[in-house]
Structure 1
Amino acid sequence: MYKINKELCSSCGLCADVCPKGAISAVGVYVINQELCSACGICQEDCPSNAIQFIKTA
């Protein structure tokens, strides 16, 4: 599962632009819709602020 660290996020929008599933949107702050996210990692790779983190879930 990927999460956006709101303290590091610069709101540049690059993550939303590169997401092939359209899982990232801005509603005041950027959020990842986990139901749409395929966990491909493209957003994390392209984030210039390193604000996107992968969190293991059981």
Structure 2
Amino acid sequence: MAVARMAYLCKHDKNKDIINKLKSQNDMAYVISSDCVACGTCIDECPSGAISEGEIYSINPDVCVDCGTCADVCPSGAISPAN
């Protein structure tokens, strides 16, 4: 958990340009599978507000900071790295 927070803080500071360049090459860092039970935990815990609720939950790659919090808190294990 501490590693995810460190990465999150780092991505907002001096490495933001590098992260944005990598995101443009690979749009999604995390994906939500059909195992999602729509509990809303990921939405509540996402520090950047990148996850939206609809017919299915989705992660906006332009807003996501790739911190991994969503995957860490998902009770059904439905969120995982895209690669």
- If asked which structure has higher relative contact order (CA below 8 Å, sep 6+), I would say 1
Aligned partners of 1:27 and 1:10: how far apart in 2? 12
Equivalent residue, structure 1, for 2:45 = 18
Correspondence 1:11-50 to 2 at 5 A:
11-50=38-77
TM-score (normalizing by structure 1): 0.90
Task: In structure 1, list runs of 5 or more residues that go unmatched.
Answer: none
Shift of 1:55: 1.5
Aligned partners of 1:34 and 1:5: how far apart in 2? 16
Task: In structure 2, list runs of 5 or more residues that go unmatched.
Answer: 1-28
Paired positions, count: 55
SS at match of 1:27: coil
Equivalent residue, structure 2, for 1:5 = 33
> More strand per residue: 1 or 2?
1
Higher-Rg structure is 2
Once the two structures are superposed, residues 4-57 of structure 1 have per-residue CA deviations (whole angstroms, 9 ceiling, x without a partner) of 002x1000000000001000011211000010000000010000000001023x
TM-score (normalizing by structure 2): 0.64
- The runs of 4+ residues in structure 1 deviating greater than 3 Å are none
Identity across the alignment (%): 45
